[in-house]
Structures are given as C-alpha cells and as structure tokens.
C-alpha cells in the first residue's frame, strides 16, 4: 500500500434528501485501503443514511461515490456488495429460526463475487468467521438464544463472511457495556488484521479513540470536523454538537473530567 494509491472509497458532495430535508448534505471524504475510519455524530446527523448511500440502498440526490476509482452511484445494493463492500445493519435482524452457524453461512453464500460458494465451503467459511468474532462455541445455538452483544458479533460475522474488502459497521457497539465494548474492539481489530478496510459508525467515543486513526464528525448531514480522533474530540464545535451545550460547559469548568 503506497500513500499515493487511489483511495478505495471516495465520496464527493454526496447528498440525500428526504422530502425537503437533506439528511446527508454535500459530504466529501475518502477512505484509503487498510484504514479504520470512524464516523461519529449526534442522533439524526445522517450517519446511517450515509452508509445506506454507500451500500446502494438510497439513490443519491447529488454528488458521486467512487470505489477504486469507478463511480458506483446508482448501482443496486447486490452489485455493490459483490464489488466487496459489506455492511452490518443498525437494527440487527438475523434469521431467528436458524442456528448461529447457518446465519453466518448465509453471508458466505450470498457475498461478494469471490465469496459465493457451495454450501459445504460456505459452512467452512462460516466456521472461520465465527472463530474470528469469538462465536465458535455458540455455532450450533439457535440465534434466538443469543445475547445482544453476541447478536452483534453474529451480524459482523455475517458481513465478514461475504468477504468484503471494505466493511461498513453501523453502531455495532451501541448498548454494550465497557467489557463488551473491549471485546468488540478486539473483534474489529482482528477483522481489520485480515486485510479489511473498516468504516465504522459509532455513537460511543471510546470506540472511535480505541480503533480509529481518523474520525469524521457529521452534524446535520454535513462534515463538521475530520482528523485524528483525539484532536477531533477536543474540538469545541464537536463537543457542542455531539454532547450538547451542557457537557461543553462542564468541560470548560472541569477539563480533567472524563467523557461519558
Ligand atoms: N427512510 C427515511 N425516510 C425519511 N427520513 C429519513 C429516512 N431515513 C432517515 N431519515 C431522516 O434523516 C435524518 C438522518 O437520519 P439517520 O441517517 O438515521 O441519522 P443517524 O444514523 O446519524 O442517527 C433524520 O432526520 C431521519 O429522521
Ligand atoms: Mg444511525
């Protein structure tokens, strides 16, 4: 990987409106192969909508999205997935009546071009990804028996089983406690270490600081700040947008205090 290589993913002035409201409003940034980039921002900032634009669920109202130099704007989701862009959903929706292993195998069966394979191979790949996310011991459990953190692991496993080159994660750590977040961070790092670029949406700041080298802050559909997580999170505008004016005030009077 060289510093001059074309970005893997490029967003140029990406805009998506619902009715008259721009949920994503002229967003421009790029992601290079091998990066872990975090997107943060308050509820309603447009994070999930942005991810839906990248994975082809929404048609753009403006701008362009490029994958390895070629425009993918207007492509249907299954074609974008086949190019190697995998994703999780904020609302976890596994196939409840199936086992954990069967769910992971679904990802392997319907993944990117080189991930689609015969059932037996799909199950081998499923076993591999379940090990990767730490779910191997529960492979034969019904999905309905899984705890919330394990369902999120499974969601990541399903996405990883599609063999993406870029993995889009939508708040996979929301609602987890600190111990569970640590385990989930480790999981993301493990997946990243297999050569997968990660674009991660999170509401939890600790996650962004923990694994991302670069963070992009969205507010009202626009990029409010971008840079190293530590410096971005010290940005007064970000603190105000993300945590509200009350927390910003508290920080000014008590700068030693930890974030939530
Ligand atoms: N399918 C949709 N139809 C109409 N409005 C939507 C739709 N999806 C998202 N929105 C609106 O777009 C804005 C951004 O939402 P979203 O992308 O879910 O934010 P975030 O993920 O940052 O919390 C919100 O105001 C939300 O109500
Ligand atoms: Mg969201």
Structural contact between residues 13 and 64, judged by C-beta atoms closer than 8 angstroms: yes
Domain boundaries 1-84+165-254, corresponding CATH code: 3.40.50.300
Length of the chain: 260
Q: Tens digit of pLDDT per residue, the chain (260 long)? A: 445 567 999 999 999 999 989 999 999 999 999 999 999 988 899 999 999 999 999 999 999 999 999 999 999 998 998 899 998 876 666 677 889 999 898 878 876 555 556 788 889 999 999 998 999 999 999 998 999 889 889 999 999 988 899 999 999 888 888 888 888 899 899 999 999 999 999 877 888 888 999 999 999 999 999 999 999 988 988 888 876 655 556 666 655 544 44
* Res 260: pLDDT: 44
Laid out side by side, the sheet with 21-31 consists of 21-31, 9-18, 62-67, 70-71
Q: What is the whole-number distance in angstroms between the Cα of residue 191 and the centre of ligand 2?
A: 22
- Ligand 1: which atom is nearest the Cα of residue 19? 4
Ligand 1 contact, 41 CB (< 6 A): yes
Residue nearest to atom 26 of ligand 1 (CA): 44
Ligand 1 contact, 16 CB (< 6 A): no
Laid out side by side, the sheet with 222-227 consists of 85-87, 166-170, 197-201, 36-40, 214-219, 222-227
Ligand 1 contact, 46 CB (< 6 A): yes
Domain boundaries, the chain: 1-84+165-254, 91-164
74-88 burial code (b ≥16 CB/10 A, e <16): ebeeeebbbbbbbbb
What 3-state DSSP class applies to 27? strand
Residue nearest to atom 18 of ligand 1 (CA): 48
* Res 53: pLDDT: 98
Ligand found nearest the CA of 174: 2
* Res 207: pLDDT: 86
């Amino acid at each position: 990987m060289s510093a001059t290589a074309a970005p893997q993913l490029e967003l140029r002035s990406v805009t998506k409106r619902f009715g008259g409201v721009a949920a994503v409003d002229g967003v421009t940034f790029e992601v290079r192969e091998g990066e872990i980039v975090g997107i943060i921002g308050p509820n309603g900032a447009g994070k999930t909508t942005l991810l839906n634009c990248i994975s082809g669920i929404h048609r753009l109202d403006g701008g362009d999205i490029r994958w390895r130099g070629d425009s993918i704007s207007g492509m249907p989701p299954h074609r974008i997935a086949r190019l190697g862009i995998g994703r999780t959903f904020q609302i976890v929706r596994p196939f409840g009546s199936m086992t954990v292993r069967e769910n992971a195998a679904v990802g392997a069966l319907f993944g990117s071009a080189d991930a689609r394979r015969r059932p037996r191979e799909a199950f081998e790949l499923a076993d591999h990804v379940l090990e990767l996310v730490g779910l191997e011991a529960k492979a034969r459990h019904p999905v309905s028996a899984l705890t919330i953190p394990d369902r999120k692991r499974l969601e990541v496993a399903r996405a990883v089983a599609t063999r993406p080159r870029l993995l889009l994660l939508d708040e996979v750590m929301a609602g987890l406690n600190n111990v569970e977040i640590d385990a989930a961070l480790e999981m993301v790092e493990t997946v990243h270490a297999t050569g997968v670029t990660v674009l991660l949406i999170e509401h939890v700041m600790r996650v962004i600081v923990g694994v991302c080298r670069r963070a992009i802050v969205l507010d009202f559909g626009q990029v409010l700040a971008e840079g190293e997580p530590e410096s971005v999170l010290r940005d007064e505008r970000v603190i105000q947008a993300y945590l509200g004016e009350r927390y910003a005030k508290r920080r000014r009077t008590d700068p030693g205090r930890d974030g939530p």
